[in-house]
Structure 1
Amino acid sequence: MGKKASEADQEQESLGQKVNLLFSVQGICWSNCNAYIQGKVATVHLILSGSKGIQGPQGFLGLPGTQGPMGISGVKGEEGTMGPPGPSGECGDMGMKGL
């Protein structure tokens, strides 16, 4: 929940240096503002070290779709029977005898 003491001290010192630089640039004497700034740093640090919110639950994964049924195979047709034999052809006319 909280940070380690050394990390918190470093963070507060770094923030104090930034505020010190800000007030030095504006020409205000640091020694007169030291108590005021230390109070502000403590307040800011207290706000920054608040507890982390609870993470919400992870959403559920959707169920995979079911596979559709396989189609029914068609019934094989019956094999045809052989037809009756055709009629025999007629005999041709006899040719004429040569001379």
Structure 2
Amino acid sequence: MTEQPIHPDVRLSDSHESVQQCPYCDRPFTSDRTHDLHLGEKHEERLGETERVQYEEASEEEEEEIFIFHIKMVILIGILWAAVVMLYMVFVS
């Protein structure tokens, strides 16, 4: 049974150049990391040892970036909350 392309209508804009293309569904990617993540998530059963290691590294990088983003958002919410409380204290008193 041949696998049908997952996203046959995916096209990159003229300003983006394809760095990688999925060997299984021909989907284009603009970075090696997104290519590795795609392979690990959509074609996991077909991965060789090298591709599996690349997927795990890309996945760890993404988890770290998401964690840092969440920390930044918590800090921002804290700052905004403190600003609201200060403004409330100034204008209500």
More strand by share: 2
More helix by share: 2
Task: State the structure with more CA Rg.
Answer: 1
Which one scores higher on RCO, CA 8 angstroms, separation ≥ 6? 1
Question: What is the TM-score when the length of structure 1 is the normalising length?
Answer: 0.33
